[in-house]
Structure 1
Amino acid sequence: MNIPLLAGTVSTVLFAASMLPMLLKAVRTKDLESYSVGNIATTNVANAVHSFYVFDLPAGPVWLLHSFYIVASALMLLWCLRYRKVPDDALNEPIGEPVTEGTEQ
């Protein structure tokens, strides 16, 4: 029995399972206001860079776990950008400086 492989497999399943409630709630409610777009974007960049290391390792549970993280963080970024709410007052603000006719400076 290969204990390290078994431990890697079990931990991969547990880590993935721990993220599923967050993903399911995000897709179900589309309420992602508590998530930082900057943080999730940084996570996606880190996952892309870390992929050079992970996918250079022999295939195993770490490939599955990292692949899951890539998909999960990409989905969260997509959903954050797609479902973020624009404040009501931002919709009513004029763009640029108001022009007042009849006054010279």
Structure 2
Amino acid sequence: MDVWLLAGSVSTALFAAANVPMLAKAVRTRDLSSYSLPSLMVSNVANVIHTVYVVSLPWGPIWVLHGFYLITMAAMATLYLAGAKHPSALPGEPHLHGVSMSHARDAGSDRTRP
């Protein structure tokens, strides 16, 4: 194995390992309140466009890393669109993309929560 392939393999493993905790926490808690939909969408579009470049390269660590990013970012966007929790939602309360349903119901009313 030459030094270039070794460097690519090690950096791929490190980049992937750095993202696994973020993805695991998002899957476990469904709390993506610190993410924005525009950012997730731009990242996914960029990954799809970047695929055109990556497939022009010979098989190697970059393919693995790019595949990991494609899957990870698609999963994050899917979790977000599926209705991630938001800190303002009450436990067990329905929510929609970071908006507590009781907040949506009570918007504009004079009532306050106990």
Pick the TM interval, shorter chain: 0.7 to 0.9
How many percent identity over aligned positions? 49
Deviations, residues 1-25 of structure 1 (Å, cap 9, x unaligned): 4000000000000000000000000
Does the residue aligned with 1:11 lie in a helix, a strand or coil? helix
Instruction: Report deviation, 1:92.
Output: 4.2
**CA RMSD, aligned part only?**
1.4
Partner of 1:52: 52
TM-score by length of 2: 0.77
Counterpart residue identity of residue 48, structure 1: V
Work out which of the two has the higher radius of gyration on C-alpha atoms and give 1 or 2.
1
TM-score by length of 1: 0.83
Instruction: Report deviation, 1:91.
Output: 3.2
Instruction: Report deviation, 1:45.
Output: 0.2
Does the residue aligned with 1:57 lie in a helix, a strand or coil? coil
Runs of 4+ in 1 over 4 A off after TM superposition: none
Partner of 2:87: none
Instruction: Report deviation, 1:86.
Output: 2.2
Partner of 1:6: 6
Distance across 2 between alignment mates of 1:19 and 1:91 = 37
Counterpart residue identity of residue 86, structure 1: V
1:90 aligns with 2:104: yes
1:68 aligns with 2:68: yes
Partner of 2:25: 25
Deviations, residues 30-54 of structure 1 (Å, cap 9, x unaligned): 1111111110110000000000001
Distance across 1 between alignment mates of 2:14 and 2:105 = 43
Structure 2: gaps of 5 or more residues: 85-96, 109-114
| Bigger RCO of structures 1 and 2 (CA < 8 A, at least 6 apart) | 1
Partner of 2:92: none
